[in-house]
A and B are shown apart, each in its own frame.
Chain A
């Protein structure tokens, strides 16, 4: 189906089903129960899951296939975001032009950066991309303030031009929409004590993510993808065969830059605001970590890594000592305090500590990232079957 073989079709369908049912899957705990804290099925986080999924899928096309480690991908995301917000300020609050322009602008920018950076390989390439991204961040935060808003960023305002939109009715705020369907609008469904939220913006982003994922499978399976893998395994041999690797790596770089721009555009579409921190090196580092955590070079790994990191950032950081005390209220007083003291350093303001520990544990015990973890579990349960048929879509060994 769709020009994919059976295994890939199954993976794509699995991802599609998971994404479609995410409001249920991510909200397993009833409202008001102590565990509701771990529910992730609210619009903002679901949107972030798929947007950072797109970002990581694109990054993986470059890093997973060619082995070129870019440390500046956040710059493309940021540039895409700025392009999108300007479309919303000048043209229309409809997300279509914003997203399209963000992809184009990020593509052009990544072409320029890639064309220069790809003259070098290895860590020299990484530092070149890092340098471009840091320059973009620094300038956006300071001297480019008239264009970027600097510290306070950009948001759509009531009195922006927006030549395609009619004048806002008095008292209305500009809202991102898709031909009138507001990205923020949701349908809520309550079943017993459960409450499921179906958000328009999430499903728009999810459809884009599925398209992006499908495209990435096609790239992985195409002759072009083979060529990129050849670059990774032995560029010298490739050169001896008379092939110039540069156009292929540059194409991969630009494609992944456009993915980043798409993610940036969608971020603005879902949450109409841009700040320069989006381009800081830690943001570039985050997508690297997402890919490695999930499993470099696998199709689904980066998406899992993106989900894991965003989940920790948004869920763990919100647990405070009060919540801990309610969880462990059933314990005797002394023991309760003891358990809370024990857990407290790892949650709330200590969520970074948990993140660091998980990075270390995953890379020590699961060298292939979360995907390898999934494979091990699958093997554990499906020992009868030969292990060639794993459901997580691991294609080739990571390195």
Chain B
């Protein structure tokens, strides 16, 4: 029982990451009809927004400490961040500690800008081109983006911890009447789940309840008619691309304390996010979210040792197995619209 509750928690947490990435990808599929292989790279760049901001915050000057020596026997150079000079040691340390949450504010404008530039500069020329060309150009872009990151930040993962206030985990078990330490879950992952829920809710509310969102939905359904009505749908679609990039980027920022970011984390997520989107059904936002949570939960259950003892290797293939079963029983995934990307 405890084990099952625990894996549901895990599943929700994993699922929220999948759902966030898939949501951005579906926004681009649905609105622009573009297969964006660079979406994983946007997720990665979001994570590196956090890395960059924490580096900016901890910009340091060096002082020479004569009492200590470095590995070559020279006097040790100690790095002192400027924020500690300006705000005092305690406040300075606190600001550095909170770099990841602060990065959200930093990442939103950066990611929207990157999204808009990408759409205006490159993607817009590919609306009428075959999907194969879209795949090649966005894949090329993804490689270029990640190589640029690798050039400046190296290939090694960079630790980006959560604020120390969120270290440790919350004991759900005692709350539900189980023994202590049976069902524990880290604070930061709970925050990640809540954060994902808020973002997903905000995107849906934006599309559902604003005029802008209404026009975009109309454009997704029938682009020509909307244009005939004299509405500049292209500009709105450009902004939607920016929003999709920001969603991916924020997913990346908040993910950094969970996994230390490295330059190829986008590629690691790329295939998975495509599977999630397709299982959810092409062009369906609720489908993408539902599929994200479904696959997250199933993946968690498949990693239980009780399951693995019976079916060794199931954790290796569960996502793909589920994808195959769903696509064979439901032709367009969970909630796919007819005719989208079926040719």
Query: Is B199's CB within 8 Å of the partner chain A?
Result: no
Given known contacts A120-B327, A124-B278, A132-B324, A357 and B316 CB-to-CB distance under 8 angstroms: no
Report 29 cross-chain contacts, Cβ distance below 8 Å, ordered by A residue. Answer: A120-B327, A121-B342, A122-B343, A123-B131, A123-B341, A124-B278, A124-B332, A127-B275, A127-B323, A130-B271, A130-B320, A131-B275, A131-B320, A131-B323, A132-B324, A134-B320, A135-B321, A143-B316, A281-B271, A282-B267, A285-B139, A292-B132, A350-B147, A352-B143, A359-B136, A360-B144, A364-B122, A364-B125, A398-B130
Chain A proximity of B142: nearest CB distance (Å) = 7
Q: In the complex the two chains form, is A119's CB within 8 Å of B142's CB?
A: no
Instruction: Name B134's closest neighbour in chain A (CB-CB).
Output: A363
Among A135, A141, A143, the residue within 8 A (CB) of B320 is A135
Query: Is B133's CB within 8 Å of the partner chain A?
Result: yes
Chain A residues with Cβ below 8 Å from B257 are: none
Residue-wise, chain B 138-162 has the 8 Å CB interface mask toward A (1 for contact) of 0111111011100100000000000
Q: In the complex the two chains form, is B331's CB within 8 Å of A120's CB?
A: yes
Q: In the complex the two chains form, is A399's CB within 8 Å of B130's CB?
A: yes
Given known contacts A121-B342, A139-B317, A356 and B144 CB-to-CB distance under 8 angstroms: yes
Residue-wise, chain A 56-73 has the 8 Å CB interface mask toward B (1 for contact) of 000000010001010000
Chain A residues with Cβ below 8 Å from B316 are: 135, 138-139, 141-143
Chain B proximity of A96: nearest CB distance (Å) = 34
Q: In the complex the two chains form, is B136's CB within 8 Å of A134's CB?
A: no
Q: In the complex the two chains form, is B342's CB within 8 Å of A124's CB?
A: yes
Query: Is A149's CB within 8 Å of the partner chain B?
Result: no
Count A-side interface residues using an 8 Å CB cutoff.
46
Q: How far is the CA of A363 from the CA of B271 in the complex (A)?
A: 22
Q: Which of A125-170 contact B (CB under 8 A)?
A: 127-128, 130-132, 134-135, 138-139, 141-143
Q: How far is the CA of A377 from the CA of B140 in the complex (A)?
A: 24
Residue of A63, A131, A292 contacting most chain B CB atoms (<10 Å): A131
Q: How far is the CA of A237 from the CA of B70 in the complex (A)?
A: 76
Chain B proximity of A294: nearest CB distance (Å) = 11
Q: In the complex the two chains form, is B333's CB within 8 Å of A131's CB?
A: no
Query: Is A25's CB within 8 Å of the partner chain B?
Result: no
Beyond the given pairs A122-B343, A134-B320, A364-B137, 9 more chain A to chain B contacts, judged by CB atoms under 8 angstroms and listed by A's residue number, are A119-B328, A120-B327, A127-B274, A130-B275, A130-B320, A288-B135, A292-B133, A356-B143, A359-B143
Chain B residues with Cβ below 8 Å from A63 are: 132
Q: How far is the CA of A204 from the CA of B240 in the complex (A)?
A: 54
Chain B residues with Cβ below 8 Å from A352 are: 143, 146-147
Q: In the complex the two chains form, is A359's CB within 8 Å of B137's CB?
A: yes
Residue-wise, chain A 330-371 has the 8 Å CB interface mask toward B (1 for contact) of 000000000000000100001011011111101110010000
Query: Is B42's CB within 8 Å of the partner chain A?
Result: no
Query: Is A85's CB within 8 Å of the partner chain B?
Result: no
Chain B proximity of A6: nearest CB distance (Å) = 31
Q: How far is the CA of A123 from the CA of B25 in the complex (A)?
A: 14
Q: In the complex the two chains form, is A359's CB within 8 Å of B140's CB?
A: yes
Q: In the complex the two chains form, is A132's CB within 8 Å of B136's CB?
A: no
Query: Is A45's CB within 8 Å of the partner chain B?
Result: no
Residue-wise, chain A 283-298 has the 8 Å CB interface mask toward B (1 for contact) of 0010011001100100
Chain B residues with Cβ below 8 Å from A243 are: none
Query: Is A116's CB within 8 Å of the partner chain B?
Result: yes
Q: How far is the CA of A67 from the CA of B68 in the complex (A)?
A: 67
Q: How far is the CA of A123 from the CA of B282 in the complex (A)?
A: 9
Chain A residues with Cβ below 8 Å from B332 are: 124
Query: Is B312's CB within 8 Å of the partner chain A?
Result: yes
Residue of B267, B320, B324 contacting most chain A CB atoms (<10 Å): B320
Chain B residues with Cβ below 8 Å from A127 are: 274-275, 278-279, 323, 327
Q: In the complex the two chains form, is A138's CB within 8 Å of B342's CB?
A: no
Q: How far is the CA of A358 from the CA of B18 in the complex (A)?
A: 31
Chain B proximity of A128: nearest CB distance (Å) = 6
Q: How far is the CA of A238 from the CA of B130 in the complex (A)?
A: 21
Chain A proximity of B28: nearest CB distance (Å) = 13
Chain B proximity of A370: nearest CB distance (Å) = 12
Chain A residues with Cβ below 8 Å from B274 are: 127, 130
Chain A residues with Cβ below 8 Å from B137 are: 359-360, 363-364
Residue-wise, chain B 107-122 has the 8 Å CB interface mask toward A (1 for contact) of 0000000000000001
Instruction: Name B320's closest neighbour in chain A (CB-CB).
Output: A131
Q: How far is the CA of A124 from the CA of B283 in the complex (A)?
A: 12
Chain A residues with Cβ below 8 Å from B333 are: 124
Query: Is B168's CB within 8 Å of the partner chain A?
Result: no
Given known contacts A123-B341, A124-B332, A124-B333, A356 and B140 CB-to-CB distance under 8 angstroms: yes
Chain B proximity of A142: nearest CB distance (Å) = 6
Q: How far is the CA of A327 from the CA of B327 in the complex (A)?
A: 55
Nearest 10 pairs of A and B residues by beta carbon: A359-B140, A356-B143, A143-B313, A131-B320, A138-B316, A122-B342, A353-B147, A360-B140, A356-B144, A123-B341
Q: In the complex the two chains form, is A350's CB within 8 Å of B151's CB?
A: yes
Q: In the complex the two chains form, is A116's CB within 8 Å of B132's CB?
A: no
Q: In the complex the two chains form, is B140's CB within 8 Å of A357's CB?
A: yes
Residue-wise, chain A 269-287 has the 8 Å CB interface mask toward B (1 for contact) of 0000000000001100100
Chain B proximity of A314: nearest CB distance (Å) = 17
Chain B residues with Cβ below 8 Å from A288 are: 132, 135
Q: In the complex the two chains form, is A292's CB within 8 Å of B136's CB?
A: yes
Chain B proximity of A86: nearest CB distance (Å) = 21
Q: How far is the CA of A282 from the CA of B264 in the complex (A)?
A: 13
Chain A proximity of B18: nearest CB distance (Å) = 15
Chain B residues with Cβ below 8 Å from A138 are: 313, 316-317
Q: How far is the CA of A181 from the CA of B108 in the complex (A)?
A: 64
Residue-wise, chain B 84-127 has the 8 Å CB interface mask toward A (1 for contact) of 00000000000000000000000000000000000000100100
Q: How far is the CA of A359 from the CA of B282 in the complex (A)?
A: 26
Residue-wise, chain B 300-343 has the 8 Å CB interface mask toward A (1 for contact) of 00000000000011001100110110011001110000000111
Q: How far is the CA of A353 from the CA of B147 in the complex (A)?
A: 6
Q: How far is the CA of A282 from the CA of B333 in the complex (A)?
A: 24
Instruction: Name A141's closest neighbour in chain B (CB-CB).
Output: B316
Residue-wise, chain B 263-295 has the 8 Å CB interface mask toward A (1 for contact) of 000010001001100110010000000000000
Q: How far is the CA of A271 from the CA of B327 in the complex (A)?
A: 38
Q: How far is the CA of A63 from the CA of B279 in the complex (A)?
A: 23
Q: How far is the CA of A175 from the CA of B146 in the complex (A)?
A: 41
Q: How far is the CA of A122 from the CA of B267 in the complex (A)?
A: 22
